[in-house]
Structure 1
């Protein structure tokens, strides 16, 4: 699965979701879905704006966590 680490980055930068919305122009609902990791997709333009605003790389925002292997009983 892919973990979206926006909450960690905003905390590191002491920035609120609202402030990110104002600086990037991304809709508040979209920022909230990213923050709470409930989004189903990520627009490249949004990723670009977030990285530009938070001075980070896409890898700072996204993390791949391997799915657990199913039991082979």
Structure 2
């Protein structure tokens, strides 16, 4: 399973979904699904926009976990 840390990163930076939508020019539904981790895919273009806007690496935003409880593989 892949876990998205968008909500945690946005919280640390005190950003709202509307800020990301407006400033990074990403569709609101896409940002909302990533924020709530209800998405099942992401376009490279969207991933690049998010990383550039949030000033983070892909590995900061996405993480592979063993299962749905969020454990990281050993």
Q: Secondary structure at the match of 2:26?
A: coil
> After the TM superposition, which segments of 4 or more aligned residues of structure 1 sit over 2 Å from their partners?
none
Deviations 1:17-41 (A, max 9, x none): 1100001111111100000000110
Aligned residue for 1:47? 47
Q: Secondary structure at the match of 1:26?
A: coil
**Number of aligned residue pairs:** 68
Aligned residue for 1:62? 62
TM-score, length of structure 1 as denominator length: 0.88
Bigger Rg, structure 1 or 2: 1
User: Where does the alignment leave 5 or more consecutive residues of structure 1 unmatched?
Assistant: 69-73
Deviations 1:8-67 (A, max 9, x none): 010011100110000111111110000000011011001100010110000000011113
TM-score, length of structure 2 as denominator length: 0.87
1:33 aligned onto 2:33: yes
User: Where does the alignment leave 5 or more consecutive residues of structure 2 unmatched?
Assistant: 69-74
